[in-house]
Amino acid sequence: MDNLKRRHISQPVFSSGQQEQTYSPGSAHTLSIQQDHDAAYKEKTYRAPPPPQRIVYSSNKYIAFCQQYQDLLIPAVLTLLAFWTRFRIIGLSNQVVWDEAHFGKFGSYYIKHEFYFDVHPPLGKMLVGLSGWLAGYDGNFGFDSGQTYPEGLNYTVMRIFNAFWGALMVPIAYATAMQLHMSLKASILAATMVLLDTAYLCISRFILLDSMLLFFTCTSLYCLASFHNLRNRPFTDEWWLWLALTGFSLGCVSSVKWVGLFAVALVGLYTIEDLWDMLGDLQMPKKTYLNHWLARIGCLIVIPVIVYLISFALHFAILYRSGTGDAQMSSLFQANLAGNTLGDSPLEIAYGSKLTFKNYGYGGGLLHSHVQTYPEGSKQQQVTCYHYKDDNNHWYIRTPRGSREEEYEEAPSIRFVQDGDIVRLQHVPTGRNLHSHPINAPITTGQWEVSAYGNDTIGDTQDNWQVEIVDDMVHSDKERVRSLTTRFRLRHVNLGCLLTANNVILPQWGFKQVEVYCDKRNRTDDPHSWWNVEEHWNDALPAAPKNAYKSKFLQDFWHLNVAMWTSNNALIPDPDKEDILSSEPAEWPMASVGLRMCGWGDDQVKFYLLGSPAVWWPAFASILLFIAVAGYYIIRMQRKIYDLSNAQWDRFFFVGKTLFLGWFLHYIPFFIMGRVTYLHHYFPALYFSILMVPFLLDHVTSTLSKRKRWIIFGVMYVAVIVVFIYFSPVAYGMPGPVSQYAGRRWLKSWNLID
C-alpha cells in the first residue's frame, strides 16, 4: 500500500545535445527511487547527470549542421536578435529623455574632469562618460530634460553603448538557464522573455545606468550557477576561475548601484549554506575546510571590495578639477582639486580672520545664517548648515564678550587661535553673533536652539564659544587651529553644550537646510559636533606653503560613501509635492503601472516604460507557484511520500530557491525603504522571476509526452512574441497623437492616455 501512495515526477537533467527522457510511475526506475529514499533519504548526496545519449543527426545537411553546432548557433542568433531589437531606430527621439538629464550630465563631468556628487557609486557613470568620449562629445551640453540634442553631439552612439549592455542580457539568460540544467526549449524561452520584454527593451535604449546594473546582475547569477556546477571539483583551475569571476561580477554590480548589494546578499546566503553543509562532512580534512573558507573570503569578499575601491580611485583620478559636488567632500579633499582656491588660504587661524566652518560629520554642510528668523522659540535669526557656497556662510573670529578687543588684535603682533581659546563668531553679512540659550531647538527639541543675535555692541556672554581641538589630520602639533586640517569642537561657555549639525532637515520655513543645535549630551566623539575651517581670508597672513594640505584616499573614500548613504536616505517622498512618476512596490509585479518617460505632446515621440503582460504576469505567477509546489513536496516528504529522488529534489530546490531568493532580496526590501520608488527599481527582481517560468514549465511538464510539452511551450512562445509585437511602440516610440495607441491600455491604472 505504501507504494501506491508514491508518485514520481521525473526531473530529467539536460545538457547541450541531450535528448529528453520521461519515466512513468510504477516503473522499475520509480521503484528504485523509493528504495533509495527508504534506505538513505536523510543522507545528502550529489549525483552527476546521466551520460549524454548518442545524437542521431538529420539526413538534411543544413539541419544536421545546425544540430552539430547548436551550442554556438543558438546563442549567436539570440545575440543578433538582441542587438537588432535594442539598436533599431534608437535615435528616433532627438530630445533628452527622462533620467538622461542626470546621467548624461554626469558623463559630461568625466569628460570635463569636474568633480560632482551623486548618490550612486561611480562605475556606471564612468561608462556613460566613456560612451560620450567614444561619440566625440566635448562635455559642454547641459542635458536639460526635454532639451533637443545639438548637431555636434552624437547621442545615438551614447545610447547604442548603453543598449549594448542590455542586449548582452539575452545570451546570458540563455547560458544561465543551461547552467541551471533547464531543457533546450526552456533555456531559449528564458532568453526570449528577456529579449521581448518591453520594459527591458525600453530601459536599455537610453543613457541610463539600468542596462549596466542588469547586465552585472545577470553575470553574477551566471557565474554563481557555473561555480555551483563545479562544487564536486574544488580547487581546480576552472573552479577558481568561476569563483573569482563571481566575486568580480559582484564588485561590478555593487559599483554601479547599491541595489547590487542584494546580489551580494544572494551569493552570501548561498556561500553560508555551502560552508554549513561542508561542516557536516566528517570525512573532509580540517585543512581542506579551512581552504574553502579562505577561497571564499578571497574571491567573494576581497575581490569585490578591490573592484569597488578601484572604481572610486578612478573616479577621484578622473575628476581632478573643482566642480559642482565639492561641498559634499571634506575641505581637505577640496583643497587638492585643480581650480579650487582653498589651498591658497593662510594656514593658521588668527583673531580678525574671515572664514567658513564646515561640519565634519559625513554629509555635513557649511555653517550658515540668513536674515529669516525662527517661526517659534526665540524668533531670532536662523542658523543652519548649507551645502552650497555663498556669502551667508562667512563668519569673523572676534574676541569674546567681557574682554578688550585690543588685547587680541594689538598691532603689529597677531594672535592665533589656540586650543582652549574663547571666541565670538560674527556673521559677516548681518553682523549677528553665533548665540545659544536654554530654548529648545526647533526639530531636535531635546537640545538647545542656536541662533544669530545682537551685533558688536549688543550681546552677552551667551555669544562665547570655547575652541576644543580634536586632532590635526596632517600636522602633529595640536596647539593652534589650522585651516582645512584641524578638527575642533565649539563648546558653549555658559551652557556647556556642543555646536552640532546631525543632518536633520528643517521644514520649508528653514529652506530644507540642515538644523544646527547645541548638544548638551557632551558626545565629544560625535563627528557631527566636529568642525574645521574651510575658506580663510586674512590679508595679514601669508598663504599656506606648498603641500601643506594632503588628502588620504581611504578617508576620502569613506567620507564620500557615507555622504552618498546620507543623501540616499534623504530621497523621501515630498508630502507637499505630487510625483506622478513614482510608484509603490505593490504595483510592480503585475505591471499595474507604467511610467511616462518624456513629454506627452502630439508633436513628440513618446516612450512609456511598461512591462509586457506576457512576461510580467507569468513571471510573478511562477514565484507563487514555486512556493506552492515546494511546500507540497515538503509536506509529502514529512509524510514519507517521496515524489523526487535525492538528486532531483536537490536540483529542484537549489534552482527554485536561488531564483526565489534572488527575486525576494531584490524586491521585498523596497517595502521597508523610506525613499521614493519607481518602476525600474523592480527590474533586477524581475530577471529572477523570468527564469523561474521556464524552470517550472520544465518541471511540471516532465511527465507529459513530448508533443504535449511542445504545445505548452509553444503557447508560451506565441504569447510572448505576439504581445511584444503589439506593445512594441511603447518602447520604440509613439509619434503622433497618443489616442491612436488607446487599444494598448489593458489596465485602467496605465496612464497611457489620461
> Which single residue is written with the C-alpha cell 540616499?
568
Task: Give domain status of residue 742, yes or no.
Answer: no
What do you get for the CA distance between the two ends of the chain, in Å?
Answer: 63
Q: Give pLDDT, residue 575.
A: 67
How far is 369 from 454, CA to CA, in rounded Å?
Answer: 13
Q: Give pLDDT, residue 31.
A: 44
3-state secondary structure of 675: coil
**H-type helices in 138-209, by residue range?**
155-179, 184-195, 198-204
The DSSP annotation for 253-293 comes to HHHH-GGGHHHHHHHHHHHHHHHHHHHT-TTS-HHHHHHHH
Q: Which phi-psi region, left, alpha or beta, contains residue 339 (left: φ > 0; alpha: ψ -120 to 50)?
A: left
Q: Give pLDDT, residue 60.
A: 79
Task: Give domain status of residue 379, yes or no.
Answer: yes
Q: Which of 224, 222, 244, 247 is nearest to 235 (CA)?
A: 244
Q: Hey, which residues does 425 pair with through a beta bridge?
A: 397
* Burial status of residue 269 (CB atoms within 10 A of its CB: 0-12, 13-18, 19 or more): middle
Element (H, E) at 147: none
**H-type helices in 701-740, by residue range?**
706-727, 729-732
> Which single residue is written with the C-alpha cell 586674512?
538
What amino acid is encoded at 320 in this protein?
A: Y
How far is 275 from 513, CA to CA, in rounded Å?
Answer: 49
Largest CA distance in the chain: 109
DSSP state letter for 304: H
Q: Which of 66, 82, 65, 64 is nearest to 74 (CA)?
A: 66
Residues 6+ positions from 475 with CB-CB distance below 8 Å: 482, 485, 486
Provide the Cα torsion 642, 645, 650, 656; round to 10°.
-60
Q: Which of 528, 478, 498 is nearest to 434 (CA)?
A: 498
Q: Give pLDDT, residue 12.
A: 41
Q: Give pLDDT, residue 53.
A: 59
How far is 402 from 415, CA to CA, in rounded Å?
Answer: 18
φ, ψ at 608 (rounded to 5°)? -125, 115
* Burial status of residue 148 (CB atoms within 10 A of its CB: 0-12, 13-18, 19 or more): exposed
Is-contact 492 522, C-beta < 8 A? no
How far is 555 from 478, CA to CA, in rounded Å?
Answer: 20
Q: What size, in residues, is the chain?
A: 754
Task: Give domain status of residue 444, yes or no.
Answer: yes
Note the pTM of the prediction, 2 decimals: 0.86
pLDDT digits (tens, 9 = 90+) for 109-158: 999 999 999 999 999 999 999 999 999 999 999 999 999 999 989 999 99
pLDDT digits (tens, 9 = 90+) for 291-330: 999 999 999 999 999 999 999 999 999 999 999 988 888 8
Q: Give pLDDT, residue 5.
A: 39
How far is 550 from 527, CA to CA, in rounded Å?
Answer: 20
* Burial status of residue 753 (CB atoms within 10 A of its CB: 0-12, 13-18, 19 or more): exposed
From residue 476, alpha-carbon distances to 332, 471, 541 in Å are 16, 8, 21
From residue 564, alpha-carbon distances to 122, 479, 494, 560 in Å are 11, 33, 36, 6
Q: Give pLDDT, residue 381.
A: 97
What amino acid is encoded at 14 in this protein?
A: F
How far is 334 from 318, CA to CA, in rounded Å?
Answer: 14
How far is 261 from 637, CA to CA, in rounded Å?
Answer: 35
Cell of 485: 586640517
Is-contact 597 98, C-beta < 8 A? yes
Q: Give pLDDT, residue 64.
A: 80
Q: Give pLDDT, residue 10.
A: 40
For residue 379, what is the domain's CATH number?
2.80.10.50
The DSSP annotation for 574-613 comes to -TTS--TT---GGGTTTT---EE-S---TTS-B-EE---H
Q: Give pLDDT, residue 387.
A: 85
3-state secondary structure of 468: strand
Task: Give domain status of residue 428, yes or no.
Answer: yes
How far is 280 from 284, CA to CA, in rounded Å?
Answer: 9
Task: Give domain status of residue 439, yes or no.
Answer: yes
Structural domains in the chain (count): 1
Q: Hey, which residues does 373 pair with through a beta bridge?
A: 381
Task: Give domain status of residue 706, yes or no.
Answer: no
Peptide bond into 412 cis (omega under 30): yes
Q: Which of 386, 343, 324 is nearest to 534 (CA)?
A: 343
Q: Hey, which residues does 505 pair with through a beta bridge?
A: 514
> What does R_g of the chain's alpha carbons equal in angstroms?
32
Is-contact 46 647, C-beta < 8 A? yes
3-state secondary structure of 490: strand
∠ CA 309-315-321, nearest 5°, is 145
Task: Give domain status of residue 508, yes or no.
Answer: yes
Q: What is the domain extent for residue 350?
A: 346-551
Cell of 225: 550557477
How far is 518 from 496, CA to CA, in rounded Å?
Answer: 9
Instruction: Say if strands 433-440 and 448-453 run parallel, antiparallel, or are unpaired.
Output: antiparallel
> Which single residue is written with the C-alpha cell 531635546?
446
Q: Hey, which residues does 422 pair with through a beta bridge?
A: 466
Residues 6+ positions from 480 with CB-CB distance below 8 Å: 348, 349, 416, 417, 418, 419, 486
In the predicted model, residues of the chain with pLDDT beneath 70 are: 1-55, 404-412, 575-576
DSSP state letter for 531: E
How far is 366 from 726, CA to CA, in rounded Å?
Answer: 54
From residue 490, alpha-carbon distances to 49, 357, 391, 432, 434 in Å are 70, 11, 21, 17, 11
Question: With b meaning 16 or more CB within 10 Å and e meaning fewer, what string describes 599-611?
Answer: eeeeebbbbbbbb
Is-contact 126 314, C-beta < 8 A? yes
> Which single residue is written with the C-alpha cell 574671515?
354
Task: Give domain status of residue 631, yes or no.
Answer: no
